[in-house]
Amino acid sequence: RMTKKILLDICKQQKLYWTPYLNDTLYLHYKGFDRLENLEEYTGLKCLWLQCNGLRKIENLEAQTELRSLYLQLNLIEKIENLEPLQKLDSLNISNNYIRTIENLSCLKVLQTLQIAHNKLQTVEDIQHLQECPSISVLDLSHNNLSDPSIVAILETMPNLHVLNLMGNEVIKKISNYRKTLTVRLKQLTYLDDRPVFPKDRACAEAWAVGGLEAEKAEREKWETRERKKIQDSIDALAAIRQRAKEQKRQNCTEGVATDTQEDPPGQETAPDKAVLPEREEYAEIEQFRLETLETLSLDELPDLEDVVVSDLPPEEEIFVQKQDYRPKIEIISEVTNGSNFTLEENNNSMLENSGEEVPTTIFSNVHQNHKEHEKEHLRPLLKSFFTEPDNSERYLEIKDKEVAPLKPLIQEVITEPKDHLLLSPVCHQPDDPSSWEEDGKITV
- pLDDT tens column, 112-152: 999 999 999 999 999 999 999 999 999 999 999 999 999 99
For residues 112 and 130, what is the distance between their CA atoms, to the nearest angstrom?
Answer: 12
- Express each pLDDT in 66-82 by its tens digit: 999 999 999 999 999 99
Per-residue pLDDT tens digits of the chain, which is 445 residues long = 899 999 999 999 999 999 999 999 999 999 999 999 999 999 999 999 999 999 999 999 999 999 999 999 999 999 999 999 999 999 999 999 999 999 999 999 999 999 999 999 999 999 999 999 999 999 999 999 999 999 999 999 999 999 999 999 999 999 999 999 999 999 999 999 989 999 999 999 999 999 889 999 999 999 999 999 999 999 999 999 999 999 999 888 888 777 766 655 544 444 444 444 444 554 555 445 444 444 555 555 555 555 545 445 455 444 444 444 445 444 444 444 444 454 445 555 555 444 444 444 444 444 445 555 556 666 666 656 555 544 445 554 555 555 544 544 555 555 554 444 444 444 444 444 444 444 444 444 4
pTM here is 0.56
pLDDT, averaged across the chain: 75
For residue 163, the SS3 value is: strand
Domain spans, the chain: 4-198, 199-247
Of 128, 71, 133, the closest CA to residue 107 belongs to: 133
Contacts of 16 (CB under 8 A, 6+ apart): 10, 23, 25, 26
How far is 333 from 365, CA to CA, in rounded Å? 6
What pLDDT, in 10s, does the model give residues 254-265? Answer: 887 777 666 555
Domain 4-198 top-level CATH class:
alpha beta
Integer-rounded Cα Rg, in Å, for the chain is 55
Question: How many CB atoms are located within 10 Å of the residue 411 CB?
Answer: 8
